Amino acid sequence: MFRLRRFLKDYKLQLIIGPICKLIEAILELMIPLITADIIDTGVKNGDMGYVLARGGLMVLMGALGLGFALVCQKFASIASQGFGTKLRNGMFRHINTFSHAELDKIGTPSLITRMTNDINQMQLAVAMLIRLVIRAPFLVIGALVMAMLIDFKLSLIFIAASLFIGIVLYTVMNKSVPYFKLMQKKLDKASLISRENLSGNRVIRAFDKQEYEEERFNKSNTELAEISVRAGKISALLNPLTYIIAQAAIIMIVWFGSVSVNIGELQTGQIIALVNYMTQILLAMIVLSNLVVIFTKAAASASRINEVFDTKPTVTEKEESRTDIDKNAPAVEFKNVSFGYPGNGYVLKNISFVIERGMTVGIIGGTGSGKSTLVNLIPRFYDANDGEVLVFGNNVKEYTFGKLRSNMGIVPQKAELFSGTIKENMLWADKNASDSQIDKALKTAQAYEFVNKFPNGLETVLSAGGSNLSGGQRQRLTIARALAGDPQILILDDSSSALDFATDAALRTALGNLKGDMTIFTVSQRVSSVRYCDIILVLDNGKLAGCGKHGELVKTCEVYREICMSQLEKEEVEI
């Protein structure tokens, strides 16, 4: 938790004044039992109503002042805790955005969402309690002990013994509950994962009639979370009764032995009542401390998970400034003996080499798991090659800043991702200054212009999150149009026409082929028809480059490509 203090640096005033206000409130509260004793031993004993009213008025005034200081502290605690949470959430989001695909794959989206919501909320609560109670509660305990000693040292030994026993209970509970709270967060991650899968994949679940299976899976995860929570709750639930038992036993002892002192004249009745009040204050303060133990135990587990995110360093980093300029005469993309593997899974790409000149259309084909998507993901540096070099416009991709490298590219991923907002807002992602004519041109090329203009609001049509109010083919065409709207020099289509019918796919390929300029187009596809007319076709087989050339050449020289063609086309079509 201490490592996250940097997010509190703008709230030093609140961190200082807030606890001071609570400290003043605690001092006023410690004075109340003495005034009560004075009222009983002087005013009530002597029947002096004026004295009683005067002292009673003083108690009311002190209570009002204490309330005022408490409200000031509460306001400062709210400002600091909410500000801390906002800054921490922003910092965490900013750090997550530096992650490459590898780090996102490792931690997982559901876990990151839980850490940014539940864990940070727990930290906010801890900061609020830090300002409001961390100073006040211990001060009340210590102050009550000191005041008890000033009244009667012998009876104060009961206070000390009771405080020690309560402290032992607090330590034991904290020690036992910490592992459970950490496990609770992991179980919450799992429940979040299942929930996210069910919400995003509900159509697939219904299509396979797996509602009952998914309900059982969620119930199992939820039950595990509940069981851990119950175990932690059982341990935490021991705090209040144990502290009450110890405190009440101490009060009984104070009254018992105090009555003896009153009988022999060593103490007055009001002093015994003051001692009981101080014991009650210690009890209440200890209960607050016990609740603080639970809160800070949860916060410690949350802080550990948050720090784990901050400690995760991106494996793909960029230079502060791009040290290279684009060489207009250099090839668009070049792979030099490139090998790449995901952590723990061995090499997915092995010793890949090829050169792609500007303006070429490149088809990438191969069996499932052959490394097609992985290969194109190395071009914009979503991952870094383990061995070899990836060059774009004559320079190693590592020499560019992310902004300079990716500003020259239009990327259409396998899964068509659109964002809530209007179609036009989605089209402006690549170039925020793109005109309506540029957007219309991109829509026409992507074969999306016709259906967009059929919508009553055209480009101002509002999309749901993920574009769920569109068909799969419409989403794919809009993601292609979004990439084209930025007029990229390199366009990467990663199996982005899988939801299109053959006629629309053919029209798309024809429109892309008619684009003027030096745009280099990479098309990843399972369909031979989508790549057969490309200037060059890369054939991948088990991570290796099995063939490189035009359709006619590969049919004759590459057995892997010929087998793919024969599985999709008639023999006469293959040889055309």
Q: pLDDT digit string (tens) for 91-105?
A: 999 998 888 877 887
Residue 154 lies in a domain: yes
pLDDT in the model for residue 573: 61
Instruction: Yes or no: say if 362 and 356 are a contact pair by the CB < 8 Å rule.
Output: yes
| Total of domains in the chain | 1
The pTM is what? Answer: 0.70
CATH number of residue 184's parent domain: 1.20.1560.10
Consecutive H or E run containing 421 = strand 421-422
Of the candidates 150, 158, 230, the residue with the CA atom closest to the CA atom of residue 187: 230
SS3 category, 253: helix
Residue 463 lies in a domain: no
pLDDT in the model for residue 317: 79
| Tokens 């500000």, located at residue | 83
Residue 247 lies in a domain: yes
Residue 481 lies in a domain: no
Task: Give the residues of the chain that fall short of pLDDT 70.
Answer: 1, 200, 321-324, 516, 570-576
* DSSP state at residue 527: -
Q: How far apart are CA 404 and CA 406, in angstroms?
A: 6
Residue 106 lies in a domain: yes
Residue 150 tokens, joined: 């000033």
pLDDT in the model for residue 205: 80
Residue 222 lies in a domain: yes
Strands, E, within 465-518: which ranges? 490-494
Domain, as residue range, for 268: 8-311
Instruction: Yes or no: say if 106 and 282 are a contact pair by the CB < 8 Å rule.
Output: no
Residue 474 lies in a domain: no
pLDDT in the model for residue 572: 57
pLDDT in the model for residue 540: 92
Q: Which is it for the CA torsion 11, 16, 21, 26, positive or negative?
A: positive
Instruction: Yes or no: say if 485 and 430 are a contact pair by the CB < 8 Å rule.
Output: yes
In single-letter form, the type of residue at position 264 comes to: I
**Residues 6 or more apart whose Cβ sits within 8 Å of residue 526:** 365, 368, 495, 498
Q: How far apart are CA 31 and CA 278, in angstroms?
A: 10
Q: How far apart are CA 49 and CA 55, in angstroms?
A: 10
Residue 24 lies in a domain: yes
